[in-house]
Structure 1
C-alpha cells in the first residue's frame, strides 16, 4: 500500500476512545487537535507531512547518548570527591540486592524512552521510503502503549529534589550529563505530545473506511459498530474482534474491566503497608545506622524549613497514591451507580488519575540518586530499603489499574439511566383524550 497516502477531502467519522461517541472530523491541515464534542477527548491532529516530530526524536536520542557518556552529578565532602552517571542510579541499586528496583529505574528512564524514540524514527523513515520498512506496523501499534511508562521528566525533577536534600551535606556539582539529560527529558515530552496515533496510521495505511449508514452524534455501540482505539477504524460488531485496518485487538468494552481494576487496587493497598512501614533508604555514618521511611523524609525537610520540598514529597508519595486509589475506586462505583452524574467532572477525575500516577516515582528516583552518590565507605553510605521496592509496586499497580479502567462503562450507565428515566416519564404521563366528533 502506498506510503504517506494523501488524505481524502471527505469528512472522517471517528469513535471516541473514552465515550464511544462517533464524531465528524472535517479535513483540516492546520495541525490543531480535534476533540470529541461530548467528553473533549483529543481524537486526532491532521498532519500530512510531519517532519518536526522525527527531528525532535532524533535530537532526543542524541542527547540521551551524550547523557550516558558523561557524569551526571558530582559532590565533594571532607576532601572526598565522587561523581555519578545516569546508569549508576540503577547500578548501585542492583549491587545492594535490589535488582527489581534497578530494572524499574533503568527501564523507565532509559530503555523504554530509547525504544520509543527509535520507533518514531523508524516509522517516519518507513513513511519516507518507497516501500514500507519491516516492523513499522508493529512499532506503531506499541507506541501508545509505551508512553505512560517513560519517566525521564520525573527523574529530572527527582534530581532537583535530591539536590535540595543533600546540598547541606556536601558541595554539589551539576555536571555535563545533567544538562543533556534535562534537554533529553524536555524534548522527549514535546515529542510525545506531538504524536498522533490515528494520523500516523492514516499515513501508514491510507484513509479509514467509512461503514455505510454511520451517523455522527450517536455512540458506535448503538449503531452496531465497534471502534479501534488505536487507528480509529469503525467496523460492524458482528465481525471478528480484530481491526481490519491495523489488525489490533478490539473490545466493545474491555472484558472484566472493573474486576481487574478492583484486583489491582487491592494489591496496591496491600503494598502500601510495607511501602510506608519499612525504610525506603538506610543511612550509615561512622558506624551509626539510621533508617528513613517516606514520612520520616518529609519530617526531615520540615525540620530544616524546606517545606516546599516536603510538600512535593508528601504530595507525590502519600497524597497521590492514596488519592489515586480512592479516585479509581469511585470510578468503578460510578460505573454501576444508579444515579445521574456530572460526566464532565468524572472525565476530569479519570484523566487526572491516569496522568498523575507516574509522578509518585519521584521518591524512588530520589533514593536511587542518593544511593548512587553517597558511597563513601565507613564515612557515609546510603543503601536502599525494602520500602522503595514496595512503593514502586504501589505506583505500578495503580498505573495498571488506571489503564485497565474503561471510561465508556460510565457513559453506558448514564445512557441507560437516561433511557429508563424517559420510559418512566412516558408511563406516568396521562393519555391524551381525542375530542368527540360532532354528528
Structure 2
C-alpha cells in the first residue's frame, strides 16, 4: 500500500515524513518526490485513463481463462491426476484448513477480480466525470488492497512445488498455468498505470476549504491531516470528516508504535509452532513422513536442489526473522529518538514493507502439492498445523509494517530540519 498523500494541484503532504511541499504540474510520465525523504508523493502522470482501463479488462479476460483449463497434471506408477486452479484452495479446505483455502483463493484470484471490476467502473466514471457515494467509497478502498494480491508470489510457489516433486513423478504444465502467468504480469502492469491523483481529481475535484498550508513545515504543526482515502488536506476539528471522500481521520491519540509492538510479539509467538510442527506430511507406499520448514529445506539441499532450498530458506526463515527484527529496531529508534540517519531508516522500512509478502511462498507450495499429489496410499501429501501458523505470521507482520508510523522516525528533525 502506498503511503503518499496528495493535496490539491500544488501542495502535498508526504505520508512518510509529514513534510509539506509544493508540487508543480506533472507532464505525462513525470512523478513527484518528497525532497525530504525521497518518497513518491505523486506517481508518474498518465495522459488519460484509457490505457489502465484496457489493461484491466485484458487482465480480467485472462483471469477467466485460468478457470477454463487444467492447471497441472501429475502421474506416477500408472496413477494420474490433474488439478484445476480452484483445486488448490479446495484441497486445503478439504483437509480441515478452510481458512488457508480462503486465503489462497482471495490473494490470488478473489481480491484481484474484485479490484479489477471496481477499477473498471471507476475509470469509466472518471472518463465521464461522474461519481457518487459508492464510487468514492470504492476509490478509497482499492489502494490498500494492492499489497494483498499475490499472484506473482503464487507463481514462484508453483515452480518450487514442481521442482520438489519432479524426481518422484511426471508433472505436466496445463494451459491454465500459462494463462495465470500472463494474468499475473498483466495485473502488475495495471498497477503501474493507475494515476490515482488524476483519477481522484476526475471523480471528485478538490473542494475549496479554509485550509492554507505553509510549505517547509510539517502538517502536524499546522493542525492539518492528509486524508488516507483521497489525499486531501483538511483540519479535522473543523470538518470532522474529509470534505472530499467523507472518510474519518485516523486519530492521533492512537499509539501506533505500541500497536506495532503488539503485532510483532504475536508474530514471534506464532513463529515458534510454525517451526516446531510439520508444515506438511508426505505419504508414500503407506509410510508417512512429516516435514517441518527447516526439514524441507534440508531435504531439498540433500537431494541436490540447492537453489530451491535457498529460495525456501530465504522466504520462510530469513525474511520473517529479518522483518520482525527490522520493525523492532525501527520501533526502538522511533521511541528512543535514534535519528542520526532518518533517510536510512526510511529505506529499511520500505524494503521491509515490500519483501514481507514473499514469505507466503511456502504456504502456496503446500497448497499446490496437496491439490496435485493425490495417488491414494501410493503417494499423497497433507498440510500440517505449521502451515496455518506460518500464514498467520506472514499476515501479522504485513499488518505490523502498515501500522508503523514512519513520521516518528524523524524525531527531533520532524519540525526543525529542512530538506
TM-score (ref. length: structure 2): 0.93
Which residue of structure 1 aligns with residue 3 of structure 2?
none
Instruction: Provide the C-alpha distance between the structure 1 equivalents of 2:31 and 2:207, rounded to a whole number of angstroms.
Output: 18
Does the 8 Å CA contact 2:141/2:229 hold for their aligned counterparts? no
Shift of 1:290: 0.3
CA distance in 1, matches of 2:211, 2:415: 26
Larger CA deviation: 14-23 vs 403-412:
403-412
Distance (whole Å) between structure 2 residues aligned to residue 156 and residue 193 of structure 1:
20
Corresponding residue number in structure 1 for 2:180: 181
Could you tell me whether the CA contact under 8 Å between 2:339 and 2:410 is conserved in 1? no
Is the partner of 1:173 in helix, strand or coil?
strand
SS of 1:30 mapped into structure 2: coil
Structure 2: stretches of 5+ with no match in the other structure: 1-7
Is 1:74 equivalent to 2:73 in the alignment?
A: yes
User: 8 Å contact 1:101–1:389 — kept in the other structure?
Assistant: yes
Alignment correspondent of 2:93: 94
Q: 1:413 to 1:147 in 2, by over 3 A?
A: farther
**C-alpha separation in 1, matches of 2:209 and 2:33:** 19
Q: Which residue of 1 aligns with 2:201?
A: 202
Change (3 A) 1:59 1:285: same
Q: Alignment length, in residue pairs?
A: 410
* Residue 196 of structure 1, CA deviation: 3.4
Distance change (3 Å), C-alpha of 1:109 and 1:139: same
- Stretch deviating more after TM superposition (384-393 or 23-32): 23-32
The 1-side partners of 2:97 and 2:412 are apart by 45
Q: Deviations over 1:142-191 (max 9, x none)?
A: 11111111111100111111111111111111110011000111111111
What is the CA deviation profile of residues 267-300 of structure 1, one whole-angstrom value per residue up to 9, with x for unaligned ones?
A: 1111111100000000111110100110011001
CA drift at 1:418: 7.0
Q: After TM superposition, give the deviation of residue 234 of structure 1 in Å.
A: 1.4
1:144 equivalent to 2:143? Answer yes
CA RMSD of aligned residues (A): 2.0
* Aligned partners of 1:126 and 1:133 also within 8 Å: no
Range that drifts further, 296-305 or 334-343: 334-343
Change in CA separation of 1:59 and 1:273 when aligned onto 2, cut-off 3 Å: same
Task: Quote the offset at 1:241 in angstroms.
Answer: 4.2
* Native 8 Å contact 2:129 2:203 kept in 1: no
Alignment of 1:190-269 (within 5 A): 190-207=189-206, 209=208, 213-251=212-250, 253=252, 255-269=254-268
* Aligned match for 1:26, one of 16, 24, 27: 24
Specify the alignment match of 1:415 in structure 2: 414
Q: Deviations over 1:314-339 (max 9, x none)?
A: 01000111111111111111111234
Deviation at 1:360, TM superposition (A): 0.3
In structure 1, the gaps of 5 or more residues are 1-9, 420-439
Partner of 1:399: 398
Query: SS state of the match for residue 75, structure 2?
Result: strand
Indicate how the Cα distance of structure 1 residues 77 and 413 shifts in structure 2: closer, same or farther if over 3 A, else same.
farther
- The worse-fitting range, judged by mean Cα deviation, of 337-346 and 161-170 is 337-346
TM-score, structure 1 as length reference? 0.89
Alpha-carbon distance, 1:209 to partner:
4.1
Native 8 Å contact 1:90 1:106 kept in 2: yes
Q: Which moved more, 1:288-297 or 1:129-138?
A: 129-138
Q: Aligned to 2:229, what secondary structure does the other structure show?
A: coil
- How far 1:252 sits from its partner (Å)? 6.2
**Residue 339 of structure 2 contacts residue 411 of structure 2 at CA under 8 Å; is this kept in 1?**
no
In structure 2, how many angstroms separate the alpha carbons of the residues matched to 1:241 and 1:63? 43
Partner of 1:7: none
